[in-house]
Copies of this chain bind each other. A is one copy, B any other.
Amino acid sequence: MAVNQTAQKILIVAQKNLQQKGFNGFSYRDLAQEIGIKTSSIHYYFPTKDDLALALVTAYHEAFKIELAKISSEDGTRLHLERYAKLFEDNLAVDNKFCLCGMLASEVNSLSDRVKQAIQRFFTDNELWLSQLIADGQSNGSFKTINSPDLVAAQLLATFEGAMLIARSAEKDSVLKFRLVVQGAIESLC
C-alpha cells in the first residue's frame, strides 16, 4: 500500500485532470508540466495511460468505500443519504469536477475492458450500499417509499450522477443547483 511520493503526486494531479477534462482530455505532458517532472517519469510509474486510469479508479473507489464505512458507522438514516450526496458535492465544489467514474462512464467506448469493469464495480457497489440504506430506512420508518430498495438505489445514483453532470455545465452556482435536485430527491423518499 505504501506508494512512492512521486507516484502520489501523479495520482493527485491526474485525478484532478481526469475529473475536469476526461480521459481523452488530458495528456502525460499536462501532468508532467503541472507537477514539474518529465513525461518519462510518469511512464516509469504508470507505463501506459490505461494503467494510470485503472489506478485512478481503484484509488477513487477505495477512498469512497472508506467514506461509506464512516457514514454507516454513524447514526441516522436520512442523514446518511445527505452525507452520501455530500461526497459527490465535494467534487463539484472544488474546481467544478465531475465524479471520476461518471466521467469515465461517458467515455466508456475509449476504455479498456479492465477499466470498464472497474467502473461497473464502483457503480454496483454504490447501488448495493444505497439499497441497504433504503431497506434499513423502510424498516425503521425513515423512508415511506414502497418501491424495491434496489430500484430506489439505482434511481438515486442516476439522479445524483445526472445532477452533477447537468449542474457542472451550468458552471455558475453549480453546487447550489446540485443541492436543490438532491434535496428534492431525498425529500420525495421521506
Contact = CB atoms under 8 A, between A and B. Distances in A.
Contacts of A147: 184, 187-188
Interface residues of A, number: 46
Q: How many copies does the complex hold?
A: 2
A105 B166 contact: yes
A119 interface: yes
A186 B184 CA distance: 15
A137 interface: no
A43 interface: no
A165 B186 CA distance: 21
9 contacts: A21-B110, A22-B110, A25-B110, A96-B109, A102-B165, A106-B106, A106-B168, A108-B168, A165-B165
